[in-house]
A and B are shown apart, each in its own frame.
Chain A
Amino acid sequence: MAENLVNLDDLGMTEEELFQTQSHDNVESEKITAPRYSYWRSVFRVFFKRKLNIVILVLLLVIIIFAYIYPSFSGFDRYANIMDSSTKHLTPAAAIKLYGFNIHNILGRGGSGESTFDSMWDGARISISLALICAAINMTIGVLIGAVWGFSKKVDMVMMEVYNIVGNVPYILVISVLVLIFSPSFWTMVFAMTVTGWLAIAYFIRTQVIIIRDREYNLASKCLGTSTVKIALKNILPFMTSVIVTLLASEIPSYISSEVFLSYIGMGMSEITLGKLIFKAEGAMLTPGWQFEFWSPVAIASIITIVLYVAGQSLGDASDPRTHM
């Protein structure tokens, strides 16, 4: 074997390229290290990597500024011009001719002489607020109850029957009865939309929990003596984050849509929302020169829901750890 040995000096390699003798440390060898990984930092890194997401985020910012900050500057008063018939139902061109070019007039004027642009954002503010509050309440209750529902077999049996029964009560009926019992105000609407709304979310979460609950790694964890609470918080919740964010993404627009729907069938609240604007301006849809009154709230409702949905879906994708590679 001796003739096979190579003299290292013959290879002409530097000291760094060659194997080196290392000292052995018993303590050091017990440490396991991995590259530094922060979950939320990775989420945002993946999220901002896509150009489209930045565009969507900017749009979202514009919508929030117009819906929440702009109305306090515009000094919008729906009935300021109600006595003046010459200001009603103006096309953008006519309004600009009458009042000069400014941002209030770019979409013309509506049935009571109000600026369509201002009234649209005023309605959007209430619609978005309603959606955000309802989504926050429903998601919190839904996720918490859904988690318990998925874990406990006894709770499952009871809740399935509750779900089957409540699911068969038309939600229009629940909402309209509640609106009639109380007053058709903003908070009644929030209550009406959340009193049964959490159930569908809880059911969805329950199904997800059941799917993940019985996977092998949880079984192993349980066998090793991990407590149920710890399994729920450390093993299952990280898995659910992307599911919950994705669900949230479709929930928020759905509240705006149902508010529009309810206002349209005449069961909405007394505040002027996007739905109410659409309902009021329905007749203007096919009237020549009045179309802007109708299509502006429709368009802005669609833009808001699409932006919220796409932003949420992208965030949901980014919060899935499998995309962090």
Chain B
Amino acid sequence: MVKYLFKRLLRGLISVLIVVAIVMILIYSLMNRDLVFSMDTVLSKQNNNAKVTYKYAQWERFGYLDYVPYADYINELFEDGEIDAETRDNVVKFGRKAKNDSDVVAEYVAKFTEYYESRGYEVIRLDAVMQGKKKVANGGQQALFATKDKTLLNRLGTYFKNLVSVDNIHYVDEDLDIGKRGLTFTWRDPAYGGEKFSPAIMGNGTKYKYLVYFDSKFPFFHQNLITINLGVSYSVNMGVDVFDTMTKSQGSYVQRDVVYPSGVEEFSADDLHSATYMKDSREANSLNKKYYVDDYTNVITFKNGRSKLGYSFILGIISSALAYFIGVPVGIVMARRKDKLFDHIGTVYIVFIIAVPSLAYIFLVKAIGYGIGLPTVFDLESQSKLMYLLPIVSLSLPSIASLMRWLRRYMIDQMNSDYVKFARSGGLSENEIFTKHILKNAIIPIVHGIPGTILFAMTGAIITERVYVVPGAGNLLTKAINAYDNSVIVGVVLFYAILSVISVILGDILMSIVDPRISFTSKAR
């Protein structure tokens, strides 16, 4: 069994890999890369050569290519100690045209060209754009850079290599003196003033100051040791990882009494547990100097709302539960009263939900809700639980219909089986036959879908969240597609693909628990 599941998991992961590869081909190779600038307001302000170099720099950020300006190459040589500061200053400036280069510059330019062309890069030199005899036009500075498109394998490799990172004490640059590196365990978390009992593991030299800690927020135990990097967003949520975009709480600040490491106590929203290392931040900012004793100063703030994933999950899980509570009993009654009035009414409902575009009945629910005075938009500031009502109803309508439809179908198929006829001839009551025998057999395919329903509650629903302005995860993919935010698209797709692989496997396990006849090992058969 374990071996079989392991094999399934492995095959699932391979298919996830291929899915990510396909998506990368779709968005990096097939789509015109100039499209990423469609929302960019900076590009239109750039002129001449500056426009070209800006584009290449952006494409590097979006992950299309490697881009190395000449100056970076020279600086690297300087840092490696191959040239001294004087040579660097001499050669870093190159002529407006290739023939204007001094001999020493021409030598380094040739070196640069040779070095990168041997590695498959394309070296581009743009001559200065002149305005009149002496003056360089706006943005017309000469440019020299090497560029190379990333290959699919290269891109996939880097992506999966950086997917999971484990924090370690060598994260901070080894050359910096930050005191003794290491992990310390404490029973009394200093973030609570150092008196309250609360175990924590803290690090020095790591990215996060707190690696493991407890707090009052669900699930109470938190860790920063292992971080998942699905891809840094560019336009949807600038500079923030997709995983953080989905899991960080939203809303307005919640302030409370905070005891900073320096002992200063203040009413603030800073979450000290989220402190990450920021080089020289205490030197640069006197406020940081007042609050902190080391360079772990980069904190996020407490907010009163849930995360995107949180909102989607709450809505999804409640509506799924509601769907099972209503759909299953109604489906059973429909099967029992086949071709009677109840069955007909149920069938009309099913036809309505299947045939009518989901947009139409969601709007219908919204209009009815508006008519009876329920809140129709989601408001992060509102404490009212009523605003959850309409999205939940809208989400559960189609799930109820599909549960009713399939359960009725499966039960009617079972009703003609021999074991049912036998049970009836043996004198069991109709109630017993339906609840103890038919249901047990008919529910098996439904049970298979339960893990999927729970896991996919996290991904949210696109239309429902849009109609009710829910700040959930459902719109992330469409937003990212509209904004050409490639790394978010890849990250979200990876997240979906992993969920679907896991949910199918969990469904199979659950099915084999519910129905002992189903076995995944060939020996047991």
The smallest C-beta distance from B231 to any residue of chain A, in angstroms, reads 15
1/0 per residue A250-270: CB within 8 Å of B?
100100110011001111000
Q: Are A177 and B356 in contact (CB under 8 A)?
A: no
Residue in B27, B30, B355, B478 whose CB lies within 8 Å of A172: B478
**What mask results when residues 290 to 302 of chain A are scored 1 for a CB within 8 Å of chain B, else 0?**
0000100011011
Contact between chains at A170 and B493 (CB < 8 Å): yes
B424 close to chain A: CB less than 8 A: no
Q: Assess whether A257 is in contact with B478, with CB atoms less than 8 Å apart.
A: no
Given the known interface contacts A180-B35, A265-B462, A265-B466, the answer about A170 and B357 at a Cβ–Cβ threshold of 8 Å is: no
B370 contacts the other chain (CB 8 A): yes
The one of A165, A167, A302 that contacts B357, using a Cβ cutoff of 8 Å: A302
Contact of B356 among A165, A176, A305 (CB under 8 A): A305
Residues in A whose Cβ lies below 8 Å from that of B355: 253, 302, 305-306, 308-310
- Which of B18-26, B88-96, B100-108, B160-168 forms contacts with chain A? B18-26
Q: What are the residues of chain B within 8 A of A177 when measuring CB–CB?
A: 26-27, 30-31
**Given A172-B481, A173-B481: A180 touches B15 (CB 8 Å cut-off):** no
Chain B residues within an 8 Å CB radius of A285: 363, 366-367
Contact A286 B370 (CB under 8 A): yes
Q: Which residue of A lies closest to B504 (CB)?
A: A164
What's the minimum C-beta distance from B430 to chain A, rounded to whole angstroms?
Answer: 26
Closest CB-CB distance, B84 to chain A, in whole Å?
50
B482 contacts A264, C-beta separation under 8 Å: no
Question: What is the bound-complex CA distance between A83 and B497, given in angstroms?
Answer: 50
A261-B482 contact, Cβ under 8 Å, with A168-B500, A169-B19, A169-B493: no
A261 to chain B: which residues have CB within 8 Å?
357-359, 462-463
Is B360's beta carbon under 8 Å from chain A? Answer: yes
Partner of B482, one of A161, A266, A286, A299: A266
The residue in chain B whose Cβ has the minimal distance to the Cβ of A309 is: B355
Residue tally, chain B, CB below 8 Å to A: 40
B482 lies within 8 A of A306 (CB): no
Interface status of A181 (Cβ within 8 A of chain B) = yes
Q: Hey, which chain B residues are within 8 Å of A167, CB to CB?
A: 500
Give A256 to B360 CA distance when docked, in angstroms: 12
- Interface 1/0s, chain B 325-365, versus A by CB < 8 A? 00000000000000000000000000110111111100110
Let me know if B19 and A168 touch, CB within 8 A. Answer: yes
Select which of B15, B364, B466 is within 8 A of A164 by beta carbon: B15
User: Which residues on the A side are within 8 Å of B27 (C-beta)?
Assistant: 173, 177
Residues of B within 8 A of A170 (CB): 477, 493, 496
Q: Check B15 against A161 for contact (C-beta < 8 Å).
A: yes
Closest to A304 in B: B355
Q: Are B357 and A256 in contact (CB under 8 A)?
A: yes
A64 and B271 alpha carbons, distance in the complex (Å):
63
CB distance A165 to B354 under 8 Å? Answer: no
CB closest chain-A residue, reference B501: A168
Expressed in whole angstroms, the Cα–Cα distance for A253 and B356 within the complex equals: 8
Q: Are A278 and B359 in contact, CB atoms less than 8 angstroms apart?
A: yes
Distance of B499 from chain A, by nearest CB (Å) = 10
Confirm or deny: A174 has a beta carbon within 8 angstroms of a beta carbon on chain B. yes
Asked if B357 contacts A301 (CB within 8 A), the reply is yes
B356-A267 in contact (CB<8A): no
| B16 contacts chain A at the CB level, 8 A cutoff | yes
In chain B, positions 454-513 with a C-beta closer than 8 Å to chain A are 462-463, 466, 477-478, 481-482, 489, 493, 496-497, 500-501
A165 to chain B: which residues have CB within 8 Å? 15, 18-19, 22
Tell me whether A181 and B31 are in contact in the complex, defined as CB-CB below 8 angstroms, given that A165-B19, A306-B355 are known contacts: yes
A233 CB → nearest B CB, Å: 27
B431 at the interface (CB under 8 A from A): no
Q: Could you say which residues of chain B place their CB within 8 Å of the CB of A250?
A: 354
A301 touches B30 (CB 8 A): no
How far, in angstroms, from A166 to B376 measured CA to CA in the complex?
A: 36
Name the B residues within 8 Å of A253 (CB-CB): 354-355
B32 sits at the interface (CB 8 A): yes
Q: Is B15 a contact partner of A301 (Cβ separation < 8 A)? A: no
B1-38 vs A: 1/0 string, CB under 8 Å?
A: 00000000000000110110011001100111001000
User: A264–B15 contact, CB under 8 A?
Assistant: no
State whether A305 and B357 are in contact (beta carbons under 8 Å apart), knowing that A173-B489, A176-B481 are contacts in the complex. yes
The answer to whether B357 touches A309, judged by C-beta atoms less than 8 angstroms apart, is: no
Q: Is the CB of A168 within 8 A of B357?
A: no
Judge whether B500 and A310 touch: CB under 8 Å: no
A291 → chain B, closest Cβ, in Å? 9
Q: Is the CB of B360 within 8 A of A265?
A: no
- Give the docked Cα–Cα distance between A278 and B489 (Å): 27
Residue on B nearest A258 in the bound complex, by CB: B357
Distance in angstroms from A50 CB to nearest chain B CB is 14
B477 and A302 form a contact (CB under 8 A) = no
On whether the beta carbons of B493 and A173 are closer than 8 Å, the reply is yes
Cα distance A166–B179 in the bound complex, in angstroms: 52
B16: chain A residues within 8 A (beta carbon) = 168
Write out the residue numbers on chain A whose beta carbons fall within 8 Å of the beta carbon of B363.
Answer: 285, 294, 298
Contacts of A181 in B (CB 8 A): 30-32
- Other than the given A169-B22, A261-B358, 15 more pairs (CB < 8 A) read A168-B19, A169-B26, A170-B493, A170-B496, A172-B478, A177-B26, A177-B30, A180-B35, A260-B360, A261-B462, A298-B359, A301-B356, A301-B357, A302-B356, A306-B355
Query: Which 3 residue pairs are nearest across A and B when measured between Cβ atoms?
Result: A309-B355, A257-B357, A302-B356
A-B contacts, 24 listed (Cβ < 8 Å): A161-B15, A169-B23, A169-B493, A170-B477, A170-B496, A172-B481, A173-B23, A173-B26, A173-B481, A177-B30, A261-B357, A261-B462, A261-B463, A264-B466, A265-B466, A266-B478, A285-B366, A286-B376, A298-B359, A298-B360, A298-B364, A299-B360, A302-B355, A306-B356
